[in-house]
């Protein structure tokens, strides 16, 4: 990683609007199927490391540190394409997802679907992997 | 809209974790193509109105009021399916999008793609509709 690529272009980073905590939401989408896998947060450092390495790195709000997706579970995300929305406050990451994206072992995190009439949530996706075998302490 | 459906099930709403401002991010995805169209925010009221009406209603942070998507532009979103993620802090809305989802007249808001090496953003999507013809004051 060169100093230049790590530092990046100021103009590039100025297009991003972070929230009061210096974070921007990042939606991860499977580049092959279009499935929305998860939503997590990035800060400038995680964004730089992601662009430098080609592997998706978020900022863990609960742990207060960089979160290299798959560091414990092995279920890493390879960055295929990074997109920014019109007002610069949301990222869309198109990724190659290794294994399950969700810490529950499911393909994606959006496994609860609303019954709008009954006002209940139904789970309609089974785990692909046993979360007990995936994790020591990784959160997703 | 009955009092019952407007009030909803407490258990249903308790599954949702709002941020400090009482908001939850909602990702809108085209139900047909899988394209991620936009990300906006909902509060409990907008969620209830969306479920009651079947038309997507966000909370506009800039205007501090309910934002009936398409109220000015006509580019409404019909709710096909609402999903909630594993930790209850992000919604995924699968929608039938009328016209352009973005206030720039583009199909979706993620029309800037990163060149990871040059650290620049490139626009790779042209407007479908002229935004000047779509809006009086609607923001997206």
- Tell me: the pLDDT tens digits for A52-106? 999 999 999 999 999 999 999 999 999 999 999 999 999 999 999 999 999 999 9
ipTM above 0.85, yes or no: yes
Closest CA to A69 of A86, A88, A53: A53
Q: Please give the pLDDT value at position A4.
A: 45
Q: Region A37-41: what's the mean pLDDT?
A: 98
**Does the pLDDT value for residue A139 go beyond 70?**
no
Question: Where are the alpha helices (H) located in chain B, listed in sequence order?
Answer: 3-7, 10-14, 44-53, 131-134
Query: Do residue B112 and residue A85 have CB atoms under 8 angstroms apart?
Result: yes
Which DSSP category does A75 fall into? -
Q: Spell out which residues of chain A touch residue B79, defining contact as CB-CB under 8 Å.
A: 116
- Are the C-beta atoms of A57 and A65 separated by less than 8 Å? no
Query: Do residue B119 and residue A9 have CB atoms under 8 angstroms apart?
Result: yes
Residue B129, token pair as written in the block = 């509709």
Q: Spell out which residues of chain B touch residue A87, defining contact as CB-CB under 8 Å.
A: 109
- State how far residue B35 is from chain A, nearest Cα, in angstroms: 7
What predicted TM-score, i.e. pTM, was given to this entire model? 0.92
**What does pLDDT average to in each consecutive run of 10 residues of chain B (140 residues)?**
53 95 98 98 97 97 96 95 98 98 97 95 95 69
Q: Spell out which residues of chain A touch residue B81, defining contact as CB-CB under 8 Å.
A: 113-114
Closest alpha carbon within chain A to B13: A119
Q: Please give the pLDDT value at position B6.
A: 44
Q: Spell out which residues of chain B touch residue A112, defining contact as CB-CB under 8 Å.
A: 15, 83-85
Residues belonging to chain B with any Cβ–Cβ distance to chain A shorter than 8 Å: 5, 8-9, 11-12, 15, 25, 27, 29, 33-36, 38-39, 51, 54, 79, 81-87, 90, 92, 102-104, 106, 109-114, 116-121, 140
Q: Please give the pLDDT value at position A93.
A: 98
Q: Please give the pLDDT value at position B8.
A: 53
Closest alpha carbon within chain A to B7: A119
Tell which of A4, A23, A27 to mutate to test the B interface (max B CBs under 10 Å).
Answer: A27
d(CA B93, CA B95): 6
Which DSSP category does B19 fall into? -
- Are the C-beta atoms of B36 and B106 separated by less than 8 Å? no
Please enumerate in sequence order all residues whose Cβ is within 8 A of that of A98, keeping only pairs 6 or more positions apart, or say none: A70, A74, A75, A76, A77, A78
- Are the C-beta atoms of A67 and A132 separated by less than 8 Å? no
How sure is the predictor about A50, in pLDDT bands with cuts at 50, 70 and 90? very high
SS3 A74: coil
Question: What is the strand order of the sheet B24-30 is part of?
Answer: A120-123, A112-115, B77-84, B91-97, B24-30, B36-42
Closest CA to B111 of B38, B54, B57, B53: B38
What distances in angstroms separate CA B97 from CA A121, B77, B100, one per listed residue?
A: 24, 5, 7
Burial of A117 (0-12, 13-18, 19+ CB in 10 A): exposed
**Nearest-by-Cβ selection for A112 from B39, B84, B118:** B84
Burial of B5 (0-12, 13-18, 19+ CB in 10 A): middle
Q: Residue B46: what are its φ and ψ, rounded to 5°?
A: -65, -35
SS3 B55: strand
- Are the C-beta atoms of A12 and B119 separated by less than 8 Å? yes
Tell which of A53, A67, A112 to mutate to test the B interface (max B CBs under 10 Å).
Answer: A112
Q: To the nearest whole number, what is the mean pLDDT of chain B? A: 91
Region of residue B15 (left: phi > 0; alpha: psi -120 to 50; beta: else): alpha
Q: Please give the pLDDT value at position B138.
A: 47
């Amino acid at each position: 990683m060169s100093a230049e690529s790590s530092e990046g272009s100021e103009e590039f980073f100025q297009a991003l609007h972070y929230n009061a905590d210096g974070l921007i939401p990042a939606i991860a989408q499977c580049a092959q199927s279009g499935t929305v896998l998860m939503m997590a947060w990035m800060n400038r450092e995680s964004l730089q490391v992601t662009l430098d390495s080609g592997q998706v790195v978020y900022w863990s709000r609960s742990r207060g540190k960089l979160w290299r997706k798959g560091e414990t579970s092995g279920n890493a995300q390879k960055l295929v394409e990074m997109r920014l929305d019109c007002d610069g406050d949301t990222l869309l990451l198109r990724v190659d997802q290794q294994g399950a994206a969700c810490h529950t072992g499911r393909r994606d995190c959006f496994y609860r679907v609303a019954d709008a009439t009954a006002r209940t949530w139904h789970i309609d996706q089974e785990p692909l992997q046993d979360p007990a075998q995936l994790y020591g302490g990784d959160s997703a």
